[in-house]
Amino acid sequence: MKAADVLVELCGLPGPSGFEGPVAQRARELLGHFMDETWTDVMGNVFGVRRCGKDGAYKLLFDAHIDEPGLIITGAEEGFLRFDVLGEPDARALPASGVTVLADPPVFGVIGVLPPHVLKKEDYEKSIKIEDLFIDIGLTQEEAVKAVPQGTPAVLDRGARLMGGDTICGKALDNRAGFAAILRALEILSDVVLDVDLFVMASVQEEVGTRGAAPGVFAVAPDYCVVVDAGHAKTPDTKPFETGEGLGGGVIISRGPNMNSVLTEMVIGLAAANGIGHQINVEPGGNSGTNARAIQVSREGVATALFSIPARYMHSAEIVSLGDIESTAQLLAETARKGGAQ
């Protein structure tokens, strides 16, 4: 199972926060190749479990969210669709973008903007507010209202494609890349005898406040957990110490109060001992902006570590390295091999 093939497929599926059905269904099918059992909860989270068959075994959870930032239609005006956001898509990247409106049947559109020829000089370099944008679907007002009811979700019309080297670009790599890393870890572990019951959660609604992870982890009640998400990769315009080394630097491991220090130091040691490329990130606050914030404080508390895959241009045209996905998968596999709550 090649990560590139998995990502091209998963990123081609729509899954805006609250409307993850198509990608969740495929995630469950993919998990079924490696797990003893799979299921979906009322929130839409997808789960799998591989039991070790040993009495009193600890429960280890791997989590990656599969939703993506999107749009939701609020109405039509002269045939043009007005919209609001689901999560935080980068508003600067929306103008002139293609959009798939997830009506029945789906409708293609483009987010329209005034051409530069008719702009006033003072407006030429201004950012455009979300409320001033619209989606042109090429229909009349009557046709648009009939084709696209209010509350219909939409996603940017971008799949994923390979770039130079081992990089891949597309929408929703935050965080389908994290889920692909978990699948790869499961493949590595397929013939390995474990001492833990290994759970996987492909969680929903992370982009709107980690809403899926909170009830999901409460139900699983793991002893410890590794959250896999996307992290910020270095580019020429980033400031020192705000990002990691960039693409190719390996899995990012975070230190901070949102992460369990004992578990974090254990996985850093595993990375070093096994020659797995890794880099350290500092999260000084109690909220890493990931599912770790919900999982850490579930029930009586869950020992939680945070792995991140370096990504450029998060929430727009994201780019990740397949090598970083592999290093993340290798460290996940070593964490499961280690076994036991540390």
Q: What is the pLDDT of residue 132?
A: 87
Same fold across 3-68+171-338 and 71-156: no
pLDDT in tens, 116-133: 666 676 666 677 788 889
Q: What is the pLDDT of residue 127?
A: 73
What is the gyration radius of the CA atoms in the chain, in angstroms?
Answer: 21
Quick check: 232 pLDDT over 60?
A: yes
Q: What is the pLDDT of residue 158?
A: 87
Q: What is the pLDDT of residue 339?
A: 81
3-68+171-338 has CATH 3.30.420.110 classification: no
pLDDT in tens, 161-170: 999 889 999 9
Which of the listed CATH numbers 3.40.50.2000, 2.160.10.10, 2.40.30.40, 3.30.450.270 matches domain 71-156? 2.40.30.40
DSSP sequence for 149-197: -TT-EEEES--EEE-STTEEEETTHHHHHHHHHHHHHHHHTTT---SSE
Q: What is the pLDDT of residue 118?
A: 66
The model's pTM is 0.94
Q: What is the pLDDT of residue 12?
A: 95
Average pLDDT over residues 223-238: 90
Q: What is the pLDDT of residue 117?
A: 66
Kindly report the number of other CB atoms within 10 A of residue 88's CB atom.
12
Average pLDDT over residues 200-215: 96
Q: Please give the mean pLDDT across all residues of the chain.
A: 93
Q: Model confidence at 341, in pLDDT bands (50, 70, 90)?
A: very low
> What is the C-alpha separation between 15 and 300, in angstroms, rounded?
31
- C-alpha dihedral (66, 196, 35, 10), degrees to nearest 10: 20
Q: Where are the domains of the chain?
A: 3-68+171-338, 71-156
Q: What is the pLDDT of residue 123?
A: 65
Quick check: 37 pLDDT over 70?
A: yes
The answer to whether the beta carbons of residues 22 and 5 sit under 8 Å apart is: no
